[in-house]
């Protein structure tokens, strides 16, 4: 009669501490950043170069912003609403207070100023 060696089964580990759930911000949809934008929405004259570039060649500035955020340079023209997503991503990366609704309002009311503000913010963040 053949004997087979005993196979050791792993002993299950006991859970000593429960995993901690992520904390959800108090107001859904708002990112609790630690700072405001470094320049205001209408602070275009603090950086005349980006102001002029945005005014005379808006597509170039939008493509430049997308590239600086690590996206395809044609994203603003291939996907509707991509500037809203890029603005929200910039806020998240920079720890800037705000909400998607605020981003939509800024881009709806003062589109060129919002694009220019994004460029200035990336300059100030060293991106």
In a domain, 102, yes or no: yes
Which pLDDT value is given to residue 127?
82
In a domain, 81, yes or no: yes
In a domain, 15, yes or no: no
Give the model confidence (pLDDT) of 74-94 as tens digits.
Answer: 999 998 889 999 999 999 999
Model-level pTM greater than 0.85? no
Give the model confidence (pLDDT) of 56-73 as tens digits.
Answer: 999 999 999 999 999 999
CA dist 103 and 87 (Å) reads 7
**With contact defined as beta carbons under 8 Å apart, do 96 and 125 qualify?**
no
In a domain, 96, yes or no: yes
CA dist 59 and 49 (Å) reads 15
In a domain, 8, yes or no: no
**Higher per-residue confidence, 13 vs 64:** 64
Measure the CA angle with vertex 48, ends 42 and 51; round to 5°: 60
| Domain span at 113 | 45-125
CA dist 77 and 92 (Å) reads 22
In a domain, 57, yes or no: yes
Q: SS3 of 10, please?
A: coil
Average pLDDT, the chain: 83
The token pair that represents 12 in the structure block: 């299950």
Give the model confidence (pLDDT) of 17-40 as tens digits.
Answer: 656 555 445 555 555 678 889 888
Q: Could you tell me which of 20, 40, 38 has the C-alpha nearest to residue 95?
A: 38
Number of domains into which the chain is organized: 1
In a domain, 40, yes or no: no
In a domain, 75, yes or no: yes
């Amino acid at each position: 009669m053949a004997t087979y060696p005993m196979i050791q089964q792993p002993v299950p580990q006991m859970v000593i501490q429960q995993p901690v759930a992520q904390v959800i911000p108090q107001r859904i949809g708002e990112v609790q950043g630690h700072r405001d934008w470094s320049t205001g929405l209408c602070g275009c004259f603090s950086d005349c170069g980006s102001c002029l570039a945005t005014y005379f060649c808006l597509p170039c500035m939008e493509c430049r912003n997308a590239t600086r955020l690590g996206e395809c340079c044609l994203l603003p023209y291939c996907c509707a609403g991509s500037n809203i997503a890029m603005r929200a991503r910039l806020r998240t990366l920079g720890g800037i207070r705000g909400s998607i609704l605020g981003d939509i309002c800024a881009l709806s009311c003062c589109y060129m100023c919002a694009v220019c503000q994004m460029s200035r913010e990336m300059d100030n963040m060293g991106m």
